[in-house]
Each structure stands twice: as C-alpha cells, then as structure tokens.
C-alpha cells in the first residue's frame, strides 16, 4: 500500500554562507532536505508521477530547456545516440537526421523534449534491449561522463531546486542569494498538486544509505561549485552531529525540528528489509548501466509507432 507523503509546510532548517568563489553572492541551503535519506528509486519501487504510467518515473511530461545552451547540449548528445541505445531513434532522427521538430515541441511558447507514446522521447521503455530508463543518462554512463553534462538541467537537478533572488540590505547594499532546497510538488507549479505520487516527500523514497548532500555530490558541485560544496559539507556534518546528539540523549521531541519528516517516517513505516531491498535493487541497476550488455543490432530495425498526440 502507498505510504502517505509528509506535509509541504514542514519545519525546515536553513544555513547561509558566502560563496567562497564570489563575495557578491550567498548560498542559502536547506539542511533538512540535504541531510535527508532521500534517494532516487526509479526501477526500485518508484510509482511514477501518474498512476497509469508507473514505469515512467518523473519522465512522463518531457523536460523544458532552461536556456539555449541547455537545448544545444542535449541536441548534440541526441545526434550521437545510436538506434541500439535510443528506443525512439527513428522518431527523433527521421531519415537518419536530427531535426528540431522531430525531437522537441513547444508548450506555452517554451521548448521542451517531445512526448512520444505518452512519455519523454528519451525514455526507453521496459523491454528495450539496452534497458529501461533515460537514453541520455545511459549514454553518459557508457561513455564515462557525468549525467549532469548530457541531460537537460531540470532532469539532473530534480529533486534539488536552485533559485535566485536579489536581497536588498538596510545599508543600501545588495547581494545575490542562491537557494538550494527541495524540489517538492510546489516546484512543478499548480499542476504539482495533481501528481498521483511524488518522491521527495514520500517515506518510500527516503531509504538511501547516504544523505542527499553525499549521494548528490556531483549535482551539488555543478550547482554551487567545488569550494561552495566543501563549505556545505561542513555545515551538513555539523547538523548531523546535532541529530545524533538528540538521539543519544533520548530527546526525540527535537527530531521533528532537525530531521526531514519523510526520513523519520521511513524509519517507522518502511520495513528494514524493504530499505535494504530498495538499496540493493538500485545498486544492481547502477551496475547494469556501468556494464551494459552487448546488444547486437537487428538486421531490420522496426520504426516505432509515432505518437498520435
């Protein structure tokens, strides 16, 4: 049975510090989220954001590009993908060439990856010889590259969210505030409340063996730089020491103020064997990507059906 998500209005602890690489901006980081035990469970218990498409994970709607460089990066990678690693190769590359309208589309005037047969054109479906999952992510692993260098920004950041605002101070000075927090349902806009299931606040996904600031090191370094990340690590570890102290002293009433409620709930509602199973399945999936099976190309490649939408 699905486990209930925690409230969006949960208490959070934030920490601020100046960017070591730029004195004109400060980082504001959500310690509650970054020290949580959330982990991506795609292929290991993920229910998908829509109940009728559980195998899609969060890839049903396609990905919006943040800027031209984001679009160009993904375009260049898509041009390299072969038919043995991209299920919808023939849709994205009709006649063997990549065209903007063949793999992207406009939604409210914003360009995004195309939706084909109900999900993102880059999502390989169950049964595809190279394995289910993002073709861009799989290509990155095969090539020994970080997925952050090939996937759309919104895809590799999720469910971490980076936002900006200019802070005006009483002495008429200002600085740029860069916030790093949880990409919860509200981050999707009004439609986020209509998703059938979402992972960041669900105890079912808070089964990681490492806290987010460790498991998502590559993403955080990309977002705030290496020097900023090292400063973040110091603060996250100090916070976890405070959590440990609260546990040891038996002062559990403080834990809801220090620990993500989904992480706390996971310890009570997700059985230990389920936690171990999810971690083992995730590790096995990672190893399959790192050592992909050799797939022989068929003599005749059938062209996937085009989306009727």
pTM of the entire structure? 0.85
Helix (H) or strand (E) holding 132: none
Full pLDDT tens readout for the chain, 309 residues: 678 999 999 999 999 999 999 999 999 999 999 999 999 999 999 999 999 999 999 999 999 999 999 999 999 999 999 999 999 999 999 988 899 999 999 999 999 999 999 999 999 999 999 999 999 999 999 999 999 999 999 999 999 999 999 999 999 999 999 999 999 999 999 999 999 999 999 999 999 999 999 999 999 999 999 999 999 999 999 999 999 999 888 777 889 999 999 999 998 776 555 555 555 555 554 544 444 443 333 333 333 343 333
Beta bridge partners of 74: none
- How many CB atoms are closer than 10 A to CB 263? 24
The length of the chain, given as a count of residues: 309
* Closest C-alpha to 103, from 137, 150, 90, 95: 90
Structural contact between residues 277 and 63, judged by C-beta atoms closer than 8 angstroms: no
**Alpha-helical runs (H) found in the chain:** 31-34, 68-80, 89-92, 100-103, 135-143, 153-157, 212-215, 217-248, 255-258, 261-269, 272-290
Alpha-carbon gap, residue 248 to 9, rounded angstroms:
27
Return the structure tokens found at 56. 């899609």
Structural contact between residues 15 and 29, judged by C-beta atoms closer than 8 angstroms: yes
């Amino acid at each position: 049975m699905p486990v209930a998500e925690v409230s969006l209005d949960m208490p959070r602890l934030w920490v601020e510090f100046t960017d070591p690489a730029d004195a004109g901006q400060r980082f504001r980081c959500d310690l509650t989220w970054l020290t949580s035990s959330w982990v991506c469970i795609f292929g290991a218990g993920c229910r998908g954001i829509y109940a009728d498409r559980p195998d899609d994970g969060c890839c049903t709607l396609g990905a919006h590009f943040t800027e031209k460089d984001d679009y160009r990066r993904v375009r260049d990678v898509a041009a390299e993908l072969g038919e043995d690693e991209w299920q919808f190769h023939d849709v994205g590359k009709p006649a063997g060439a990549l065209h903007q309208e063949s793999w992207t589309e406009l939604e409210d005037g914003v360009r995004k990856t195309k939706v084909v047969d109900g999900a993102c054109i880059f999502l390989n479906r169950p049964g595809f010889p190279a394995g289910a999952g993002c073709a861009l992510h799989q290509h990155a692993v095969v090539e020994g590259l970080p997925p952050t260098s090939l996937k759309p920004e919104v895809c590799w950041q999720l469910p971490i969210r980076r936002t900006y605002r200019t802070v005006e101070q009483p002495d008429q000075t200002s600085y740029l505030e860069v916030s790093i927090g949880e990409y919860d349902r509200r981050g999707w806009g009004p439609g986020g409340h209509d998703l059938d299931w979402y992972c960041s606040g669900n105890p079912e996904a808070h089964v990681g063996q490492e806290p987010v600031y460790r498991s998502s090191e590559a993403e955080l370094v990309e977002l705030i730089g290496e020097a900023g990340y090292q400063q973040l690590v110091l603060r996250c570890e100090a916070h976890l020491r405070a959590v440990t102290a609260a546990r040891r002293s038996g002062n559990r009433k403080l834990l809801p103020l220090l620990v993500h409620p989904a992480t706390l709930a996971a310890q009570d509602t997700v059985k230990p064997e389920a936690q171990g199973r999810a971690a083992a399945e995730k590790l096995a999936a990672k190893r399959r990507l790192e050592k992909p099976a050799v797939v022989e190309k068929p003599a005749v490649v059938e062209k996937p059906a085009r989306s009727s939408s």
